[in-house]
Amino acid sequence: MITDVWYWVVIGAGMLLSFGASALVKSTFAKYSQFTTRSGMTGADVARRILADNGIQDVRVERVPGHLSDHYDPTNKVLRLSEAVYDQRNMAAFGVAAHEVGHAIQHATGYAPLKFRSAWVPLANIGSNLGIWVVFLSLVMGAARGAGLPFIIGLVGLGLFACATVFTLITLPVEFDASKRAIVALENGGYTTTEEVEGARKVLNAAAMTYVAAAAASIMQLLYWASLLLGNRDD
């Protein structure tokens, strides 16, 4: 397959999408990190305030190392913020902190897509680690020529990889909803001015593109391997 030009087109397109989305979020975060918010609160402060506003008392807010390593851990009910968010008093920090609180609110309210995504994680991990290799093995065994068992093995591999693709797709509404909740929380809580909340919105919109890129890349790979397995292309 490594001699197939379409393989490199798909891989290259996925890499470009990923690189472009990553560069966009980093540059947008850096830009709005320069604008200090008038409230004087840090990202950790605003996270705790929004949690309290929503009656969530059992979620801890912790500092973690790394750049943009922010995430909400639903298993331990911990909201982990990177140093660039936890300690900072700027639009970018407010947007990211509020977004992660959005996930905590989803968890507290039983938001269905989040529950589905969490339940899907084991399948997604198996699919992303094994799916393509199983399809590749089946092709080597002759699946593209219509051989029975190899073709069935290939379908299994394709199904496994499809599980990983489904995960990237269900992640989209989860992330978009968390960002929507973040903006509403910042506005309703009076933590930002109109200008500040727009800066936070732009940071979150840029971050959302990383999830869109991941979904697009996964879909392209799934279609590529499906075309090989089903014999719709010449090898």
Looking at the annotation, which residues are catalytic?
Answer: 100
CB 143 within 8 A of CB 154: yes
Torsion sign over Cα 137, 141, 142, 143: negative
Sheet containing 60-64, strands listed edge to edge, beginning at the edge strand earlier in sequence: 60-64, 78-82, 71-73
**φ/ψ of residue 80, rounded to 5:** -105, 125
Between CA 198 and CA 18 the distance in angstroms is: 25
Between CA 22 and CA 169 the distance in angstroms is: 18
Strands 78-82 and 71-73: antiparallel
